[in-house]
Chain A
Amino acid sequence: MTRRLARAIVASMKIGWEIESNWTNVPLYILYEAVRPLSLCILLYFLYKVVSASPGADPHFFAIFIGNAFFMIFGALASGLSWAIISDREHYQIIRYVYIAPAPFVWTVIGRAVTLLAVALTSVLLTLLVGRWPLGLPISLGGVRWGLLAMSLPLGLAAACGIGLFFAGMLLITARHSLLLAEGVGGVFLLLCGVLYPTTYLPWWLRPLAWLNPLTHWVEASRRVFGVTGFDKPLGALPDWELLAILLVLTVVYLYIGWKSFLWFEHRAKRAGKIDQATNY
């Protein structure tokens, strides 16, 4: 069974790869993925320049830069999951055949998103390079806390996957335009998870939502990987192991909820006859 599943996932990854690399040129696509976070960073860079002589040396700017760079992984993974469903259903009209195949549907969808994840990781690297040289941020290979990265990155991916699965599942019972909804939610998370400003800037009633979100802790952990601390006071007060423990617990919860919701939406779609129903307007 595991071998069969592995075959199916590899095949979905291949489809994902072929689709992405065929309709765009890959280096261009990586650049495209990086453009949004990069342009946001450059905008912030100049905003910071107004108040501070050298933003490159400003720890706040560095913190925002790192958060922004890593957050794009979440965007890519979440939209990749949704896109796998939309494209198979609307564009290639092949979802019914994928669906009735023995490989569990949720895994073929995840396999498809992996490509976008690979692209996103490359875009993160690109963004970090831009941060290092033109912007002069204190990024160096020697300064990276690799051990922390190795623990936090997989957790962040898993959490992003859980959230992405929730919205991808929702697409199974709704029309194509709800892809916009999924994108919009990505924007909301950007504002909620302490990427551009510390969570303490949020109104008090939103803060628990931010703190109960694994992405918030993942962004904090990613900053620590580059030696940035103290950007977010309450989160910054946590020792590494405590931060990781909270991240782990929240990730497990989010992944579980995302996974189960996907299956639940799938079940609903099957009851309503919507699995293979393309949006016809």
Chain B
Amino acid sequence: MDFAIETADLVRTFKIKRGEFLTAVDRVNLQVKPGEVFGLLGPNGAGKTTVIKILVTLLYPTSGRAFVAGHDVVREAEAVRPLINMVSGGETSGYGILNVRENIWMFSQFYGMPGKLAKERIDRYLKRFEMTGDAATKVNRLSTGMRQKMNIIRGFVTDPQILFLDEPTLGLDVHIAREVRQYIREWIAEKKDHTILLTTHYMAEAEELCDRIAIIDNGKLVACDTPAALRATMGEGGAFTLTLSPAPTDTTLVDQIPDVRNAYLAKSDGRTTGELRFTLNSDARLPEIFAAATQAGFAVRGFSKREHDLEDLFVKIVGRRLHEDE
């Protein structure tokens, strides 16, 4: 079978100073099937954008090979280009002096679309994204969110067989982000053999949209599977919060219990109670923890459990949270 996207030991290094190199993409092997929505998930600087840049013929790999629709992105870039398009979120690109319709139209022409077809599609997309009223607005008068919506239309309007979305919802407000995700789902449902490679910071977005997810860290692929299978590798158990009175001053209480990981004290409200958080792979240890708490003189005032999600998997594999500020 021909993959929509395939990479073989893809490596990209950048020269940062004299004699100093940074490996942005490190021996990445990807195989994305036609019709899939494939997610690349990783923290800042993981190499997601670099992978996309190579695949869309904007950058050469340092070594290894990459194929899009069976064409080598280096040697057959001309064959790749008519089949693809790309949207990067969080940027305000666009010909400011042209209006929304003209901007999208220009790009339809760079893809050689016949005028009538281009016009029809642009109208349809403007309507779909509730931008018909802004069609004649100059792009430099648009809000950032609207510009990004225009950018997204630009990506879809050429009906690419393989679409690259680099953090498409970055910086969008919740409402527009939801609208964009909704459209991505509609599009892929309607066009069965079309493929999307999507990068994101948002675990929930990846789970919602992607058939398969690859986790990338420091340029390396560290996991790749369906969201369900990835979650299953975490086993049962989850993240627990124990509200204790008086407030505990350290985590020794649970540290002695086998299987407890990542224990930490959350902020206590006043002096009477405090929260102790930890993860456990199996619920079987819970009675032991309750007993230990009572024995140590704490009263258990509250207890909650959150099932493992991909965020936890990320922590487990990568060793830190996806967003440092959480």
Chain A CB within 8 A of B282 CB: no
Known: A18-B102, A275-B59. A97 touches B93 (CB 8 A): yes
Output the least CB separation between A107 and chain B (Å): 10
The interface residues of chain A lying within 8 Å CB-to-CB of B110 are: 8, 11-12, 98, 101-103, 108
- The closest CB in chain A to the CB of B95 belongs to A92
Which of A15, A102, A108 has the most C-beta atoms of chain B within 10 angstroms of its own C-beta?
A102
The interface residues of chain A lying within 8 Å CB-to-CB of B14 are: 273
How many residues on chain A are close to B (CB under 8 Å)? 32
Known: A7-B112, A270-B58. A23 touches B84 (CB 8 A): no
Known: A7-B109, A97-B154, A101-B111. A270 touches B97 (CB 8 A): no
Known: A18-B102, A271-B60. A100 touches B86 (CB 8 A): yes
Please tell me if the beta carbons of B97 and A273 are within 8 angstroms of each other in the complex. no
Q: How far is the CA of A127 from the CA of B102 in the complex (A)?
A: 34
Q: Scoring B residues 72 to 102 as 1 if CB is less than 8 Å from chain A, else 0, what string do you get?
A: 0000001001101110100111111110001
Output the least CB separation between A128 and chain B (Å): 31
Output the least CB separation between A97 and chain B (Å): 7
Chain A CB within 8 A of B57 CB: yes
Please tell me if the beta carbons of B111 and A22 are within 8 angstroms of each other in the complex. no
The interface residues of chain A lying within 8 Å CB-to-CB of B113 are: 7
Please tell me if the beta carbons of A102 and B78 are within 8 angstroms of each other in the complex. yes
Q: How far is the CA of A15 from the CA of B110 in the complex (A)?
A: 11
Please tell me if the beta carbons of A11 and B93 are within 8 angstroms of each other in the complex. no
Please tell me if the beta carbons of B58 and A18 are within 8 angstroms of each other in the complex. no
- The closest CB in chain A to the CB of B82 belongs to A102
Chain B interface size band reads 20 to 34
- The closest CB in chain A to the CB of B164 belongs to A100
The interface residues of chain A lying within 8 Å CB-to-CB of B84 are: 100
Please tell me if the beta carbons of B92 and A93 are within 8 angstroms of each other in the complex. yes
Chain A CB within 8 A of B201 CB: no
Please tell me if the beta carbons of A10 and B109 are within 8 angstroms of each other in the complex. yes
Output the least CB separation between A42 and chain B (Å): 34
Known: A97-B86, A100-B56. A15 touches B112 (CB 8 A): no
Q: How far is the CA of A276 from the CA of B56 in the complex (A)?
A: 13
Q: How far is the CA of A7 from the CA of B110 in the complex (A)?
A: 7
Please tell me if the beta carbons of A93 and B112 are within 8 angstroms of each other in the complex. no
The interface residues of chain A lying within 8 Å CB-to-CB of B106 are: 11, 14-15
Please tell me if the beta carbons of B94 and A11 are within 8 angstroms of each other in the complex. no
Please tell me if the beta carbons of B86 and A96 are within 8 angstroms of each other in the complex. yes
A residues 22-50 near B (Cβ < 8 Å) are 22-23
Q: Scoring A residues 240 to 281 as 1 if CB is less than 8 Å from chain B, else 0, what string do you get?
A: 000000000000000000000000000000110101100000
- The closest CB in chain B to the CB of A92 belongs to B95
The interface residues of chain A lying within 8 Å CB-to-CB of B88 are: 96
Q: Scoring B residues 295 to 318 as 1 if CB is less than 8 Å from chain A, else 0, what string do you get?
A: 000000000000000000000000
Chain A CB within 8 A of B33 CB: no
B residues 272-292 near A (Cβ < 8 Å) are none
The interface residues of chain B lying within 8 Å CB-to-CB of A14 are: 106
The interface residues of chain B lying within 8 Å CB-to-CB of A98 are: 110
Output the least CB separation between A270 and chain B (Å): 5
Please tell me if the beta carbons of B112 and A275 are within 8 angstroms of each other in the complex. no
Q: Scoring A residues 207 to 245 as 1 if CB is less than 8 Å from chain B, else 0, what string do you get?
A: 000000000000000000000000000000000000000
Please tell me if the beta carbons of A94 and B95 are within 8 angstroms of each other in the complex. yes
Q: Which of B58, B81, B98 contacts A96 (CB 8 A)?
A: B58
Chain A CB within 8 A of B53 CB: yes
A residues 43-96 near B (Cβ < 8 Å) are 91-94, 96
Chain B CB within 8 A of A4 CB: yes
Q: Which of A5, A91, A93, A103 contacts B91 (CB 8 A)?
A: A93
Please tell me if the beta carbons of B93 and A94 are within 8 angstroms of each other in the complex. yes
7 contacts between A and B (CB under 8 A): A7-B109, A11-B110, A93-B92, A97-B107, A101-B111, A102-B82, A108-B110
3 closest Cβ pairs, A-B complex: A4-B112, A11-B109, A101-B110
